């Protein structure tokens, strides 16, 4: 299970960014040069390696699939930073030449960004060699160490002095991405393939490494050996212990803090300038600049405050002025659910995210893009049009069409590189007859009698492998009673699973490779007894990805899922209706008292039933439950807001699914009120509903 609690990995990013500020402000310099040396030249040297290790860890967890995305993100961040510091460079008379731009960074703290741009492809290449790659990165680190803290010794050796002089014609220091960052990227990556470390062991190793590094640094500085001091012999040991400690106590994510840390790192030199200019203007130079500790204390909160301001500006996801009703999608919840499902399934079982029906009303494109960033590489849709829409949105991974595809559309399957389902033998032959090579998964009917070739017809299944133009890359089936709680439901699902496993074994016995095998959908994961002891290559979670169940029935293996979707609408108008008067179509509602009616800008064209009031439907207004009354119109509905302490006003927000204050309307509850299951309720939410994305 996901460990809940303190998001240590993200929080320490901010601490590392503050340590970088300390390097550039020398907080203890006026009080104790030795203490400042330890703070800025020993302790703070963990900051940049930590940035690299956490990147390597998450890249490796996703099998390095996000390397290109991180490289592009870093390039954009670096380009923006270059422009941000261009005025200071021009003021100082520092030209931005190719050497600074490509190798050293255009300002003193920006070296990390071009270094990371260089280190990422190197680390990705070395990662293919597993342990050999880490050893090679270690050799690069030792070479860089000779040009850094040990230059006074190594640089005097025959031949090496000329080598380092050649290096220094490109880079000012060997802390760059060729020598320093690859080893820390790969050290972080090494944790992705290991069990969660023990916190006590990590703490002991951190203290041991930091103590050894302290002795090393003081000896080196005392003998004036270093040319620079970004690299120490004991720094990798310290980082191994520190990262293991943080990983052991980590629980969850804090993306806001993560972004704040990045902005503090980028912005703090400008904040140093602002503090200095402000101190001179207000006559506080001695207090805020000459006093090194107060200088540091002034720069840090200013950097953090500026980072929060920028985040508040860039993270605003305001609805368009005419938004009447909308779906609110929490992508952090989607990420957490994805991680939870991964931990629930065997390591050998991949996630095939089902994003059909516009990702069950959640927005297929933002959902698929988010899942890609989390390392999901298999997607499933219902029809050809849904697959093409994902391709046009830039989703390049494997996409399986679960429904029937017209054989005449085979050229489109090939053009968009989509995988079709073979619905039955005749369908397979018709696809093959189009003369176009297409990828397919064979659907096997294990008792649902929907799509699929009967499981017992092994010869028919085998014949489909031999058809020209069909590239069979997978075989799957579907459990039709896994969501049932009765014993006969569970028994039937178990028979389906066993039948499917037997069919796969028969195909393999004929020398046929079934490719990717998959059986479990959401309830096959929540009720795993039906597949105990049976292993398949992937699972197809749909509804549970979005943090909801089909209904309120109990399951064998409940998961602490977070709902991704909330449904909200504006109050369009408020009316006072005297007792005895009717309202709405057919005057179906009659006020038994003087009534405050709120008109919501949402109706049955948006997916809610016309008789929602008669079924007992409620909405949340001002954090309280208010009954829906009368007949739901195509575009509006009426809500009795009489019992609220204060009458609602036009333009305020009502919640139909989700949380308002202390009250929550769960999708399962709303679906039960509507007389259906959550799957249907969410997937029929109308396309005219707006989509507000949180935590992109």
| Across 332-360, average pLDDT | 94
Q: How confident is residue 320, by pLDDT bands cut at 50, 70 and 90?
A: low
The token duo for 667 is: 């999708």
Q: What is the pLDDT of residues 46-63, one digit of tens each?
A: 999 999 999 999 888 767
pLDDT at 239 over 50: yes
Q: What is the pLDDT of residues 405-461, one digit of tens each?
A: 999 999 999 999 999 999 999 999 999 999 999 999 999 999 999 999 999 999 999
The phi and psi torsions of 379 (rounded to 5 degrees) equal: -130, 155
What are the chain's domains? 1-41+254-316 (no CATH), 48-253 (no CATH), 348-546 (3.20.20.10), 565-694 (2.40.37.10)
The token duo for 471 is: 């590239």
Q: What is the pLDDT of residue 2?
A: 34
Residues in the chain: 696
**347 HSE (CA, 13 A, CB side):** 7
Report the SS3 class of residue 314. helix
Indicate whether this model's pTM tops 0.85: no
DSSP 69-97: HHHHHHHHHHHHHHHHHHHHHHHHT----
DSSP 31-46: T-HHHHHHHHHTGGGG
The token duo for 181 is: 């960052």
| Across 128-156, average pLDDT | 91
Alpha-carbon 313 to chain mean position: 21
- Please state, as a whole number, how many other Cβ atoms lie within 10 Å of the Cβ of residue 417: 14
Residues 6+ apart with CB under 8 A from 199: 245, 248, 249
pLDDT at 512 over 90: yes
Cα gap 122→143, rounded to integer Å = 15
Share of the chain above pLDDT 90, in %: 82
Q: How confident is residue 1, by pLDDT bands cut at 50, 70 and 90?
A: very low
DSSP 327-376: EEEEHHHHHHHHHHHHHHS-TT-EEEEE-HHHHHHT-HHHHHHHHHHTT-
Q: Is 151 a catalytic residue?
A: no
Mean residue pLDDT across the chain: 93
| Residues paired with residue 570 on neighbouring β-strands, in sequence order | 653
Q: What is the pLDDT of residues 111-126, one digit of tens each?
A: 999 999 999 999 999 9
Q: What is the pLDDT of residues 299-317, one digit of tens each?
A: 999 999 999 888 877 655 4
Q: Of the listed 108, 165, 585, 649, which one is catalytic?
A: 585
Q: Is 585 a catalytic residue?
A: yes
| Residues paired with residue 624 on neighbouring β-strands, in sequence order | 621
Site of tokens 């990828």: 439
Q: How confident is residue 130, by pLDDT bands cut at 50, 70 and 90?
A: low
Q: Which of 316-330, 344-358, 649-663, 679-693 has the lowest mean pLDDT?
A: 316-330
Q: What is the pLDDT of residues 363-378, one digit of tens each?
A: 999 999 999 988 899 9
CA dihedral over 480, 496, 530, 422, signed as positive or negative = negative
Q: Of the listed 141, 151, 164, 356, which one is catalytic?
A: 356
């Amino acid at each position: 299970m996901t460990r809940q609690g303190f998001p240590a990995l993200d929080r320490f990013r901010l601490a590392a960014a503050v340590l970088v500020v300390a390097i550039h402000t020398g907080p203890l310099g006026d009080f104790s040069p030795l203490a400042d040396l330890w703070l800025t030249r020993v302790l703070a040297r963990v900051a940049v390696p930590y940035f690299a290790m956490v990147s390597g860890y998450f890249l490796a967890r996703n099998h390095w699939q996000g390397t290109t995305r991180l490289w592009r993100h870093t390039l954009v961040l670096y380009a923006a930073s270059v422009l941000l510091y261009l005025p200071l460079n021009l003021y100082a008379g520092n030209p931005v030449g190719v050497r600074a731009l490509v190798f050293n960074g255009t300002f003193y703290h920006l070296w990390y960004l071009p270094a990371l741009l260089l280190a990422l492809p190197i680390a990705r290449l070395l990662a293919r060699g597993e342990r050999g790659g880490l050893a090679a990165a270690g050799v690069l680190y030792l070479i860089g160490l000779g040009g850094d803290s040990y230059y006074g010794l190594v640089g005097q050796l025959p031949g090496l002095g000329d080598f380092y002089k050649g290096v220094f014609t490109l880079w000012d220091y060997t802390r760059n991405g060729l020598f320093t960052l690859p080893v820390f990227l790969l050290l972080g990556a090494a944790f992705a393939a290991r069990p969660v470390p023990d916190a006590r062991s990590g703490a002991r190793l951190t203290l041991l490494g930091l103590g050894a590094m302290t002795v090393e640094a003081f000896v080196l500085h005392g003998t004036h050996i270093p040319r620079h001091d970004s690299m120490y012999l004991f720094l990798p040991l310290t980082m191994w212990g520190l990262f293991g400690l943080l990983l052991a106590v980590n629980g969850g994510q804090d993306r806001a803090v993560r972004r704040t840390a990045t902005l503090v790192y980028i912005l703090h030199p400008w904040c140093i300038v602002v503090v200095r200019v402000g101190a001179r203007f207000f006559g506080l130079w001695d207090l805020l600049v000459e006093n090194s500790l107060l200088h540091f204390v002034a720069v840090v909160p200013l950097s953090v405050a500026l980072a929060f301001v920028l985040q508040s500006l860039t993270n605003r996801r305001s609805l368009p002025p005419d938004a009447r009703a909308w779906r609110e999608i929490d992508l952090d919840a989607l990420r957490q659910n994805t991680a939870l499902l991964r931990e629930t399934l065997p390591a050998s079982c991949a996630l095939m995210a089902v994003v059909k029906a516009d990702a069950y009303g959640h927005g297929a494109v933002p959902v698929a893009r988010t899942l890609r960033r989390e390392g999901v590489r298999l997607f499933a849709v219902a029809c050809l049009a849904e697959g093409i829409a994902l391709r046009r949105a830039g989703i390049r991974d494997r996409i399986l069409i679960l429904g029937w595809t017209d054989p005449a559309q085979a050229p489109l399957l090939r053009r968009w590189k989509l995988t079709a389902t073979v619905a039955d033998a005749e369908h397979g032959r018709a696809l093959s007859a189009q003369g176009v090579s297409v990828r397919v998964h064979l659907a096997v009917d294990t008792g649902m009698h929907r799509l699929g070739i009967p499981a017992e017809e092994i010869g028919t299944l085998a014949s489909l492998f031999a058809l020209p133009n069909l590239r069979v890359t997978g075989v799957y089936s579907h459990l039709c009673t896994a969501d049932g709680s009765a014993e006969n439901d569970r028994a039937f699902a178990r028979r389906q699973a066993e039948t499917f496993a037997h069919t796969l074994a028969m195909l393999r016995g004929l020398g046929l490779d079934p490719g990717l095998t998959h059986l479990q959908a959401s309830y096959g994961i929540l009720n795993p007894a039906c597949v105990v002891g049976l292993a398949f290559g992937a699972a197809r979670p749909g509804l549970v990805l979005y943090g909801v169940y089909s209904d309120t029935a109990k399951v064998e293996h409940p998961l602490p899922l977070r709902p991704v979707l909330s449904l909200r609408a504006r109050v369009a108008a408020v009316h006072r209706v005297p007792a005895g008067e009717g309202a709405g179509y057919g005057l179906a509602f009659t006020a038994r008292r003087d009534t405050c009616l709120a008109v919501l800008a949402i109706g049955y064209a948006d997916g809610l039933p016309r008789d929602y009031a008669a079924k007992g439907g409620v909405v949340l207004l001002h954090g309280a439950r208010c009954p829906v009354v009368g007949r739901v119109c195509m575009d509006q509905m009426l809500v009795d807001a009489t019992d609220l302490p204060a009458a609602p006003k036009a333009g305020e927000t009502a919640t139909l699914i989700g949380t308002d204050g202390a009250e929550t309307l769960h999708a399962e509850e709303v679906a039960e009120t509507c007389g259906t299951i959550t799957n249907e309720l969410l997937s029929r939410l109308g396309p005219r509903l707006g989509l507000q994305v949180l935590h992109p």
